[in-house]
Amino acid sequence: MGTNERWSSIEAIIRQRLDFNELDRRYCAVCGRQGPPLSRCFGCQMVYYCGEEHQAEDWSKEHAQKCTQLEWVALGEFIQALPAQPPLPNIGDKWQTSLKEINNWKSWFSIRTNIVHLANNTANVLKTLVHLTDKRQPTDQNAVDGLLAAVTDLLTNVLTIGKAIVSFGLQPNIRPLVIHILSGFNKIDLVGYNQSSSNLPVRFHELLNMFPDNK
Ligand SMILES: [Zn+2]
Ligand SMILES: [Zn+2]
C-alpha cells in the first residue's frame, strides 16, 4: 500500500470514529426529538436542537455555562479519535522538585518540560488534521492544552499514586509498598499485555523518581 493510500485509510478511520461519536448526539437537547432537520449550537457544535425556540430555552437555562466546556470535550474527542500511538516522552529523569511541593498539573509540567515541548510540536500536526472533524478549529494554545490533557491522562496517574503515598504518610524508603492498580491502562500495563506494556517502565521510573531514596 502506498503512503497516500495508507494515509487516506487512516483518515477514513478517524472520520468513522468521529461520525460514530456524533450519532449519539443527534437529538434535540430539550425535547429529545431525533428527526431531521436539527440545528446545532454554533459555539460548541456539540449539541443539537429541533428549532430556535428550544435552542434559546436551553441557552438561557444552562447551555450558556456549558458551551465553552463542550468545546473542550470536542477537542478531546478529536484527539482520542487519532489512531496514531502517542510518542510517549521519556520521563526517566530525577525530579528536581519534591513531591510535596507539586500541587497541581502546572507545577508538574514545570519539571516535565519535555512533555510540554512534545505537545507544542504535535499541536502543528493536530492542526493539519483538524479538517477531518466538523468541529471548530482549536486555537494554538487550546491544541497544546488539549494534547497535554491527553498525555497526562496516560502518564499522571503515577503522580496521583505518589501524592496518595505522601498524604497517607506511607514511607516507601523504609517499608516497601506493593501497589495494585485496578483501572484502565494500568491494569493492561501490569500484566504486560498489548502495545501499552511499553509504558510500564516509564511509569514505574516516574514513581521511583518521586522517592529518590527508595532502594
Ligand atoms: Zn426540541
Ligand atoms: Zn454550545
Q: How far apart are CA 148 and CA 181, in angstroms?
A: 23
| pLDDT for position 52 | 94
**Where residue 186 falls among pLDDT bands split at 50, 70, 90?**
very low
Q: Is 105 inside a domain boundary?
A: yes
**Domain containing residue 40:** 3-77
Task: Kindly list the distances between the CA atom of residue 3 and the CA atoms of 6, 10, 127, 133, 198, in Å, as whole numbers in the listed order.
Answer: 5, 10, 20, 22, 27
For residues 105 and 70, state if they share a domain.
no
Ligand nearest to the CA of 57: 1
Mind giving me the DSSP string for 60-105?
A: IIIIHHHHHHHHHHHHHHHHHH--SPP------SPPSS-GGG--SH
Count CA within 13 A, CB hemisphere, residue 140. 3
For residues 142 and 179, state if they share a domain.
yes
Least confident of 23-27, 35-39, 159-163, 174-178: 174-178
| pLDDT for position 190 | 37
| pLDDT for position 48 | 95
Ligand nearest to the CA of 70: 2
**Where residue 23 falls among pLDDT bands split at 50, 70, 90?**
confident
For residues 69 and 109, state if they share a domain.
no
**Where residue 61 falls among pLDDT bands split at 50, 70, 90?**
very high
**When comparing pLDDT for 123 and 184, which is higher?**
123
Of 43, 77, 111, the last residue of a domain is 77
Q: Is 186 inside a domain boundary?
A: yes
What is the 130 CA–ligand 1 centroid distance (Å)?
30
Ligand 1 (single-atom ion) residues, CB below 5 Å: 28, 30-31, 50, 54
For residues 191 and 114, state if they share a domain.
yes
Cis status, amide bond into 37, omega within 30 of 0: yes
DSSP secondary structure code for residue 25 in this structure: T
**Crossing angle between the packed helical segments 3-23 and 64-81, to the nearest 10 degrees:** 150
For residues 32 and 67, state if they share a domain.
yes
For residues 141 and 59, state if they share a domain.
no
Q: Is 88 inside a domain boundary?
A: no
Ligand nearest to the CA of 28: 1
What is the 75 CA–ligand 2 centroid distance (Å)?
13
What is the 80 CA–ligand 1 centroid distance (Å)?
30
Q: Is 51 inside a domain boundary?
A: yes
Q: Is 134 inside a domain boundary?
A: yes
ipTM for the predicted complex comes to 0.95
Distance of CA 88 to the CA centre of its chain: 13
Q: Is 32 inside a domain boundary?
A: yes
For residues 116 and 192, state if they share a domain.
yes
Distance of CA 126 to the CA centre of its chain: 13
For residues 56 and 114, state if they share a domain.
no
What is the 84 CA–ligand 2 centroid distance (Å)?
29
Q: Is 125 inside a domain boundary?
A: yes
Q: Is 92 inside a domain boundary?
A: no
**When comparing pLDDT for 20 and 8, which is higher?**
20
| pLDDT for position 182 | 55
| pLDDT for position 38 | 93
What is the 124 CA–ligand 2 centroid distance (Å)?
25
For residues 195 and 107, state if they share a domain.
yes
Of 30, 45, 77, the last residue of a domain is 77
What is the 183 CA–ligand 1 centroid distance (Å)?
38
For residues 65 and 106, state if they share a domain.
no
* pLDDT tens per residue, range 70-124: 988 888 888 888 766 555 566 667 788 888 888 887 888 888 888 888 888 888 8
Domain count, the chain: 2
